[in-house]
Structure 1
């Protein structure tokens, strides 16, 4: 019997947030595109495919185009705002507490929403404040801001929760030691931690810490971002895909949700968008195979070391 022969609710999974009443859809759609002009159309396709979780950022420079797609869908009655989970991020140049609220309000205006479901600190690295998102010196080196600490920035995010504007808050591109330090000091604990994670970078230790503290681990590049070594060409994933009559991508995404991690995929292709949402529950045997038989370990994005994004979407 095919695993596609019955309805499977895995793609509709939602994870409870550790504060507030919200629930994050496990299947998320990322909005970082090489061609920003394709943003509105791609988000529209994702909404039509069934995605209700959208991951944005001021750094992506297309929040306004995401906002147009979402506003059109709401106005046409295809979806209600309450059904959506919108995440966006504070960029590195806005870490100083006095810059947080203005940056947040600007994101809300661009996204055409009165509140954000989850507001993340894009990276733990503070850059020199200003309008230039990538400040560098004459030698091309990043200009960091030594005048603010991560916990000071976090306190400003906590105030957004107090005011009801951000339903939840979290961090992106953070290491386990840095997260442990923040959790120990935070008044409002992070609800979400977004990091690179896939079968070649399972981040089991970080996932266990997040589970223990009720934090959702949100995986970006869950398919390896098309880089070498190619996750989707892995023999273990390919073998499982053949057995369950799914694609290697669908197997990798199902693995993510079943182990308790939400994921983000990005595409402008209608076919890929639909494929990435159409996931089904894997047999227990398959989950064990992926954990025990895939031994390749590689990180594709070096942002956790510098605060500078290591790749942008390159494939349609």
Structure 2
């Protein structure tokens, strides 16, 4: 993909998915907020700033608040539903085949939409089915569900695609090994794989496999989630930002899109929302510097190992 220097459309990049001829905007807005009360206003601010790709989840417990914002904006007629790309996710407690469709329908109702652009399995780990999203035993250990396999859950997602209710499907928080196993047996291959990725966790091997199979990698925490060591304080990133008169965040996000990885950023602050979409193409030299000169390797979220989302607390 080449970009014209005089007309920089990096922020408008779309990646075509491997089924359904759907195009996913590379620039996405995540809806996991610490304060759920900020959800509706933040989504409206993101729509006003130009975001059209929204990442939701049953687990975030605020799909209804996202739905209110979407409905209000769609009713103005300024944005059409077809212009939006809405992702949501099946939570770990709903992996059993008979639970998938009711969970999908409930997400659609809360979001006030009649189809989902991309439906993801939130993690490959099945938890004990039920209404408790975080089932634990007396010792505080997660209660996993060993009576269902990932492919059994996946088969129901494939049916949702057949019925046109989910335009594409994928998986989140999965390792390369588990992804390879799923791709080998899936009738409809995952279109999207959402994982933690940033300059300190570039996931080059996973990205290469995904590109071979026409799977789009979607990065969460593309700025390192503000944790230590801080990606945005890395001397390579800050040096490029100074040269280009961009912010370190804009540099890291542009790097993501230019290497073919869609990203999600989350903020309830209007200035940050606008900053995160205002990206432009980095020179080739900057791309090489980020790849070769940044040697820090760190994962900030352990969800890929346990199925339990959570950024790892580290002593500063």
Alignment TM class, shorter chain as reference: over 0.9
| Separation of aligned partners in 2, 1:73 and 1:193 | 28
Aligned residues: 308
- Aligned twin of 1:289: 289
CA positional deviation for 1:78? 2.1
TM-score, length of structure 2 as denominator length: 0.96
CA positional deviation for 1:19? 0.3
CA positional deviation for 1:21? 1.5
Give CA deviations for 1:42-92 in whole Å, capped at 9, x if unaligned: 000000000000000000000000000011110012210000000000000
TM-score, length of structure 1 as denominator length: 0.96
- Aligned twin of 2:81: 81
Matched, 1:304 2:288: no
| Separation of aligned partners in 2, 1:237 and 1:49 | 24
**Partner of 2:29: helix, strand, or coil?**
strand
Gaps of 5+ in 1: none
Matched, 1:190 2:171: no
Aligned-residue Cα RMSD (Å) equals 1.0
What pairs with 1:145-224 in structure 2 (closer than 5 Å)?
Answer: 145-224=145-224
CA positional deviation for 1:6? 5.5
CA positional deviation for 1:192? 0.1
CA positional deviation for 1:309? 0.4
| Separation of aligned partners in 1, 2:215 and 2:57 | 20
Misfit runs of 4+, over 4 Å: none
Gaps of 5+ in 2: none
CA positional deviation for 1:130? 0.2
- Aligned twin of 2:278: 278
CA positional deviation for 1:27? 0.2
- Aligned twin of 2:118: 118
| Separation of aligned partners in 2, 1:78 and 1:284 | 37
| Separation of aligned partners in 2, 1:178 and 1:310 | 20
- Aligned twin of 2:37: 37
| Separation of aligned partners in 2, 1:146 and 1:191 | 26
What pairs with 1:100-139 in structure 2 (closer than 5 Å)?
Answer: 100-139=100-139
| Separation of aligned partners in 2, 1:274 and 1:177 | 37
CA positional deviation for 1:311? 3.2
**Partner of 2:46: helix, strand, or coil?**
helix
**Partner of 1:159: helix, strand, or coil?**
helix
**Partner of 2:309: helix, strand, or coil?**
coil
- Aligned twin of 2:20: 20
| Separation of aligned partners in 1, 2:226 and 2:198 | 12
